[in-house]
Structure 1
Amino acid sequence: MVKNKNSFISLIIQEEKEENRGSVEFQICSFTNKIRRLTSHLELHKRDFLSQRGLRKILGKRQRLLVYLSKKNKVRYKKLMNQLGIREPKNR
């Protein structure tokens, strides 16, 4: 299943390379791709603390973009969450 998600993300990235790299959806897709690569790296290298820090920073950036998109356009937010297979964030 993870293979399908990664191929889907790469497909979205390839489609939007010519169109709009600065769009919120494109940025969230690229961050999701980086997050998946880093988590697979950290499964092998559990004590790589610099990669853990980088992962936390990317997660924070993606979270801020998702909050922005959810406030701006709920329909696009829901569609992107379903396409990428991201869970809804927990409310504080």
Structure 2
Amino acid sequence: MLSKKKKDGIIKKYRTHASDTGSPEVQIAVLSEEIKELSEHLKSHTHDFSSRRGLLRKVSLRRKLLRYLQRESEERYEDVAKKLKLKKLPAQTKDEVLEALEAEAAQEEAAREEEKPAAE
């Protein structure tokens, strides 16, 4: 868990204006620091599964925030990724996401159709 002092320092470094505490940039930076701390903890406590689950949740949330920032402002995304030394996410447009979801739905429908004759 981040100390208040450390968290405030991160917020000051990544904020977009004086009273900013919740912009995607700040949230990503805070999550990145929490991820680093949890990763260090898990190196010495390999069987701490609840902390591992927390780490995975934080990584997932950070990825979602990065995707949002990438979609809304490529320039801000590039800046944050560079400052935090993060791997860049593959570019993904809304059309690509919709195509992937439609393909997944079609596969599920085909699987259901194959199961129906076997059940009858």
| CA RMSD in angstroms, aligned pairs only | 2.6
Name the TM-score, length of structure 1 as normaliser.
0.80
> TM-score normalised to the size of structure 2?
0.62
| Aligned equivalent of 2:12 | 14
Alignment partner of 1:36 is 2:46: no
Structure 1 equivalent of residue 67 of structure 2: 67
- The CA distance in 2 between the partners of 1:67 and 1:90, in whole Å, is 9
- Mind listing any 5+ residue stretches in structure 2 that lack a counterpart? 1-5, 92-120
Alpha-carbon distance in 2 for matches of 1:10, 1:29: 11
What is the CA deviation profile of residues 4-39 of structure 1, one whole-angstrom value per residue up to 9, with x for unaligned ones? Answer: xxx8x87442344x5211111000011001000000
Give the drift of 1:44: 0.6
Tell me the matched-pair count.
Answer: 85
**Equivalent pair of 2:24/2:69 in contact (CA under 8 Å):** yes
How many angstroms does 1:90 deviate by? 5.6
Gaps of 5+ in 1: 1-6
Deviating runs (4+, > 6 A) in structure 1?
A: none
Letter in 1 for 2:12: Q
Q: What is the CA deviation profile of residues 33-58 of structure 1, one whole-angstrom value per residue up to 9, with x for unaligned ones?
A: 10000000001101110000000000
| Seq. identity, % | 31
SS in structure 2 opposite 1:61? Answer: helix
